[in-house]
Amino acid sequence: RLATGHDIVARIGGDEFVLVLHENNESFDERHQRIKAAVAQPLMIQGMDFTVSCSIGVAYYPWHGLVASDLFKAADLAMYKAKENGRNAVETFSQELLDSARQKFLRAEELRKAIQNDEFVLHFQPQIELKTGLVSGVEALVRWNHPLEGMLPPSEFISLAEETGVIVELGEAVLRKACHKAKKWSTNGHPRIPVSVNMSPKQFQNAGVINHVKTALRESGLDPSLLEIEITESSVMRDIGSAAGVMKELTDMGVTFAIDDFGTDYSCLNMLKKLPFSRLKIDRSFITNTPDGEQDCAIVTAILNLARSFKLQVVAEGVETIEQARFLRLAGCEHGQGYFYSRPVCDRTIDALLDKQY
Ligand code: C2E
Ligand code: CA
Ligand code: CA
């Protein structure tokens, strides 16, 4: 029994329900516990047991709305927040929730305009071949050159772009710019400096991704083997089969793939076996405590061995000290990237770094 007396339970569509509950002497906390318990009852469908969870958004009359439509909106917003908090959560509407939703909406609009106004710029960080100290590649890292707030790092906008789908267009712009830049290097005396471009899950899973890459390559005239795409495991785990299809089509053209942030997600060996990666990037969190931290050294060594058996080259991320660089080189890691060599630098500065020997 979810409701009593003239309370209402209504299905308003799909998997969304509305409960209108009158105040009684039971606390709200007790009532939502009872609702969750009722929903959590296993269901038997064609001999199989199913359990479902629910996210609950709460709005109170009259504080959060005087008419049904306002209460609906308030409860809906709270429900989205509950969903964000994970399974089975309950959230109550508040003014702060509304303010943050408005801000997010405005920021998302700003992001869309920023693409039209071409406000995104790339910074570049060199990757060093540890054996020789020469620059072996460059990672492109996007920045938002905001007209009022200045240069904003990806942590300020990538997840919102991902959430709102703007990432697809943003990613296309990044690809175009990165390929253009790499083409310039290849015609300015650096014939073989590949550019690495980050691709977020939504962008990689977008149906147009192959075309976006092809277009960027064609428009820039860049040799496809000078483009590396960095993706994380979360981009491919949902559907390894379709990821394999996309990767095959692009690797057939000569484009290569790296697994980014390796060791932080699933570290799924099946994925290494099934997908055509050519490099693996060890996440910075494991490099930070080398060479003093025994456990992290063991992890790094294990990843290097693993990579070797899968014929993958390794890039260590976040190399900040000479000791780390030395440890990695002696352990047989092929490439390093990090503040020890160079921070990400702007378009003009990177050109001067390409000839440097570290
Ligand atoms: P990431 O791909 O793991 O990139 C490396 C990040 O670590 C960069 O931060 C870089 O500036 C920083 N870093 C490099 N060396 C060091 C070091 O020695 N020490 C420390 N503490 N940090 C170091 P950034 O540029 O802020 O980028 C953050 C993340 O944003 C990237 O992580 C990547 O996931 C995402 N990102 C950047 N550009 C793009 C893009 O064009 N598209 C997408 N989808 N994501 C991007
Ligand atoms: Ca990366
Ligand atoms: Ca990374």
Weakest-pLDDT range from 11-25, 123-137, 269-283: 11-25
Closest CA to 113 of 169, 172, 179, 197: 169
For residue 305, pLDDT over 80 is answered with yes
Distances in Å between the Cα of 93 and the Cα atoms of 2, 57, 108, 334 are: 21, 7, 22, 52
The ligand whose atoms approach the alpha carbon of 231 most closely is 2
Q: Do the Cβ atoms of 128 and 136 come closer than 8 Å?
A: yes
Separation between Cα atoms, residue 66 and residue 74, nearest integer Å:
11
In the beta sheet, which residues pair with residue 141?
123
Same fold for the domain at 8-93 and the one at 106-357? no
| Residue of 155, 158, 202, 283 to test ligand 1 pocket, by largest number of atoms within 8 Å of CB | 158
Instruction: Scan for tokens 């860049």, then name that residue.
Output: 222
Strands 313-316 and 335-336: parallel
Distances in Å between the Cα of 200 and the Cα atoms of 194, 231, 235 are: 19, 7, 7
> Could you report the per-residue pLDDT of 83-107, keeping only the tens digit for each?
988 888 999 999 999 999 999 999 9
Our answer on whether the CB atom of 137 is closer than 6 Å to any ligand 1 atom is no
* Ligand 1 closest atom vs CA 232: 34
For residue 298, pLDDT over 60 is answered with yes
pLDDT recorded at residue 266: 82
Q: How many residues comprise the chain?
A: 358
- Per DSSP, 68 falls in state H
The ligand whose atoms approach the alpha carbon of 196 most closely is 2
CATH: 3.40.50.300, 3.40.50.720, 3.20.20.450, 3.30.470.20. Which one for 106-357? 3.20.20.450
Cα 318 to ligand 1 centroid, rounded to whole Å:
9
Distances in Å between the Cα of 147 and the Cα atoms of 89, 155, 168, 344 are: 38, 18, 22, 21
Q: Do the Cβ atoms of 199 and 171 come closer than 8 Å?
A: yes
**Count of alpha carbons within 13 Å of 34, Cβ hemisphere only?**
12
Domain made up of 8-93: CATH architecture: 2-Layer Sandwich (3.30)
Tokens at residue 319, please? 């190399």
Distances in Å between the Cα of 311 and the Cα atoms of 197, 256, 276, 279, 308 are: 21, 14, 10, 9, 5
- Where exactly are the structural domains of the chain? 8-93, 106-357
Closest CA to 141 of 130, 128, 156, 129: 156
Q: What percent of the chain has pLDDT over 70?
A: 99
Task: Cis check for the bond before 291: say yes or no (omega within 30 of 0).
Answer: yes
> Could you report the per-residue pLDDT of 33-64, keeping only the tens digit for each?
888 889 889 999 999 999 888 999 999 999 99
pLDDT recorded at residue 4: 63
Q: Do the Cβ atoms of 267 and 302 come closer than 8 Å?
A: no
Tokens at residue 303, please? 């990843």
The ligand whose atoms approach the alpha carbon of 264 most closely is 3
Cα 307 to ligand 1 centroid, rounded to whole Å:
22
Q: Which of helix, strand or coil describes residue 142?
A: strand
Q: What is the DSSP string of 194-251?
A: -EEEE--HHHHHSTTHHHHHHHHHHHHT--GGGEEEEE-HHHHHTTHHHHHHHHHHHH
Q: Is the pTM of this model over 0.85?
A: yes
Strands 134-146 and 256-262: unpaired
What φ, ψ does residue 17 adopt, rounded to 5°?
-125, 150
pLDDT recorded at residue 2: 56
Cα 141 to ligand 1 centroid, rounded to whole Å:
6
- Per DSSP, 226 falls in state G
